[in-house]
Structure formats: C-alpha cells, structure tokens
Amino acid sequence: MKKVGILGGGQLGRMLLQTAANYPVETYLMENDANAPAAHLCKHFIKGDITDFNAVYEFGKSLDVVTIEIENVNVEALEKLAEEGIQVIPHPSALRIIKDKIKQKQYYKHNQIPTPEFVITHSKKELQNHVSFLPAVHKIGNGGYDGKGVQVIKTEKDIEKGFDAPAVLEKMVVIKKEISIIIAVSKNGQTAIYPPVDMMFDPILNLLTYQICPAALDESVFYKAEAIAISAVKNLNSSGIFAVEMFTDAEGNVWLNEIAPRVHNSGHHSIEGNYCSQFDMLWRILLDYPLGNTDVIMPSALVNLVGDEGFQGAAEYIGLNEVLAMDNIFVHLYGKQQTKPGRKMGHVTIISKDKQELLYKANQIKNTLFVRSK
C-alpha cells in the first residue's frame, strides 16, 4: 500500500481520512495537537510542527506522497522532498505562489487572468500614497487565513486598520456574486471541473454562511468563470485539488479573487451532492487512479456551523435534534471540543431537486442550529 502523508489535522484532514478508508492506502498525519479533528483517524499520527523545516522533512522523507490540508506549512521542506523524488501534491512551486498574496496577484497579472486591480504596499504608511485608489481591500502577503489578514479600507480614515507589512491593496469590486469552482488536476495533467457554487458570506466574520450548487449563472458568465478558473489552475503546473474563488459584477464580468490549492469549504457539498466528492477526488489523484465524475447527483445547499458570538468553551449543539429530524440533510460535525465565536465547527448539507426547498431549509437550519458553550 502507498504511504501518503497529510500536513495538518483540521476538518479537511478529517474528511480526507473518512474517505481514505475506501482506498488501499497507509495514512500518515502530522499535526501539533493530538486532539485535532483528524488526529485519530490516520493510521500513523506524528506530533509535529508543520511550519518547521526539519519536522516536515523528516515526516515526508519515507513517504510516497505528501499533501496538505492547510497552506501554512513549511514550503522549503516540501521543495526538498520534491527534489528528492517524493511526490508533493500540490507542487511546492504552486504553494509558494498561492501562500503569498503578493505573488498570487502577480501570477494572475502575468497570466492575464482577470483579477481586481491592485498595488503592492510594504508598510501602513505607504497606504497614504494610494488614497485615490480607495475604496480597496488590504490583504497581508503572508499569514492570512479564514478572514484574518484582510481589512477593508474604504476611506483615508480606515488606513490605520491596514497592515504594516508587505501586502496587496486591491481595488474594491462592486460584487454581484461570489462563486467558486473546484478543479481537479491529475498527475498526468488531466482535469475534472466541478459545477460552480454560489457563495453567500457573513459580512462581519467574512465566513461563508451558506452556498448553493450548482450556481445560478448566465451562460456567458458561466463560461467566463470556467475559462478563468481553468487558466488560473493550469498555469500553476501542479496536480491536486484547487478551489478558485471568483466575483461576478453587474456587467457580467468575472474576477478571480483567490485560489486555494487543496480541498476547500466551497466543495464540502460534493460529499453528498456529487458522484465524486472533492475528498474522493484528491485520493484518486494521490493514488494514481482515474479522475472521478464531478456531475451533480442532486442540487445542494450547505450551511456552515460556526461558533456563535458570545460563547467560548466546551461546545454544545443547540437544535441538533431538530435538524437531524429533517428529511434530506447531512450533518458533519468536526469533533472540536472547544467553540469560540466564528470558529468552524461543522456543516450541514441539504440535497433537493427543488431550489426553493434548499433555500428554505438552509435558512431554517441557520435559525435552528447554534454552536454555543455549556
């Protein structure tokens, strides 16, 4: 059996390992927290710091394949592993581009991929030179994650919220919709494209609150989005799963927002909604099996369960019985013992042929199920 290692032990690792049990594979996982969501589901758990060169190199050097479930890993060690013949998916060169918001934006520009206009800044003070560029979004070059490392700078007054570090100042697009397309690339360069997803965000936490698949898009917007997503992924020259997040505007333009080089929240519905889930698809890539079928089995909606405001401590799921009594829902709780405001604690997928039912139930779940502390 192939030895495959995962760096990171969060919910993405957890769902990857749930699926791994369908395949002949010996799983390894490195993570600092032995109680992390994925830690107990691998065959071999290695406690270690995924941002440390030696830890990552030692972890990977006796494996056949190494993958990630979070970008914040030691890329230098992955580069050395790749040089030594270990398969690293995504390729470290792709990870290097994506991990750094500045490199990521430059990559889009270089490849003529439509993305909101931007300038690069190196300090908070420098933002003063770009007042005429506002309103804009300031995104820190390195270390941003899950809504952190992003600040909206509407006017000069907001400049104090900016980052005093290398960052991208991105012109604000008047967004009509946020969409995501997940693309799978096999080791021999074959691609499989998932149907697009409509994403609805919480404006305060900048966390996805619910999504619908397939997205309701005009045909011309759909084809643009697909072309942009394919181009953005193919030019990375890396196998793996890539989530391409995009904006559409009122004029029917599509703008690339960002890429994640891994399984992604915007693909969780694929576990029940599509023939081959994003997790299944990644295992097919890692283990050299044919790519799976991305077709929709039934349209789906997905509600993220995040820790409720004002509650911190041992997690409790209020309303879980009511939601589990619904006919066409699938609950995924991530096994995190502690909740805090905005923490991703689980998700619920709804499948139905009737879009109104998807929206109705998504809202019903949002108004029924809460993660609070005891």
Identify the residue among 6, 14, 101, 118 touching a copy of itself (CB under 8 A): 14
Q: How many CA atoms lie within 13 A of 277 on its CB side?
A: 22
Out of 141, 292, 307, 342, name the contact with a copy of itself by CB under 8 A.
292
Among 324, 338, 354, 355, binds a copy of itself (CB under 8 A): 324
Q: Which stretch binds a copy of itself (CB under 8 A): 50-58, 85-93, 304-312, 327-335?
A: 327-335
Paired tokens of 299 = 């349209």
Q: How far is CA 311 from the centre of its chain?
A: 25
328 binds a copy of itself (CB under 8 A): yes
Query: Which range, of 95-103, 114-122, 242-250, 332-340, touches a copy of itself by CB under 8 A?
Result: 332-340
C-alpha 312/C-alpha 343 separation (Å) is: 10
Alpha helices in 75-196 (DSSP H): 75-83, 92-99, 101-110
* Minimum CB distance to a copy of itself, residue 118 (Å): 40
Q: Based on CB atoms, which residue is closest to a copy of itself, 102 or 271?
A: 271
Nearest alpha-carbon partner for 302 in 222, 207, 219, 238: 207
Q: Does 318 bind a copy of itself (CB under 8 A)?
A: no
Does residue 23 interact with a copy of itself by CB under 8 A? yes
Q: What are phi and psi of 141, to 5 degrees?
A: -65, -50
Tokens of 25: 């594979």
Residue choice 54, 190, 237, 321 for contact with a copy of itself (CB under 8 A): 321
Instruction: Work out which of 108, 210, 242, 317 binds a copy of itself, going by CB under 8 A.
Output: 317
Binding to a copy of itself by CB under 8 A, coded x per residue (else -) over 101-140, reads ----------------------------------------
SS3 category, 372: strand
Type of residue numbered 32: N
**Amino acid at site 221:** V
- What's the min distance (Å) between Cβ of 35 and a copy of itself? 9
Residue 331 interacting with a copy of itself (CB under 8 A): yes
Q: What is the largest CA-CA distance in the chain?
A: 59
In angstroms, give the least distance from the CB of 93 to a copy of itself: 28
Q: Please report where in the chains the tokens 């290398």 appear, as a residue.
A: 166
Which of 43, 47, 96, 234: binder of a copy of itself (CB under 8 A)? 43
Say whether 321 sits in a helix, a strand or coil.
helix
Amino acid identity for residue 52 in this structure: D
Q: Residue 129: CB partners within 8 Å, gap ≥ 6?
A: none
User: Using the rule CB under 8 A, is 269 a contact of a copy of itself?
Assistant: no
- Considering only 50, 137, 303, 315, the residue that binds a copy of itself (CB under 8 A) is 315
Q: Determine contact, residues 343/37, Cβ cutoff 8 Å.
A: no
Q: What is the CA radius of gyration of the chain?
A: 20
- Chain residues in the site for a copy of itself (CB under 8 A): 1, 14-15, 17-19, 21-24, 27, 40-43, 275, 284, 289-290, 292-293, 295, 297-298, 315, 317, 320-321, 324-325, 327-328, 330-333, 335, 337, 351
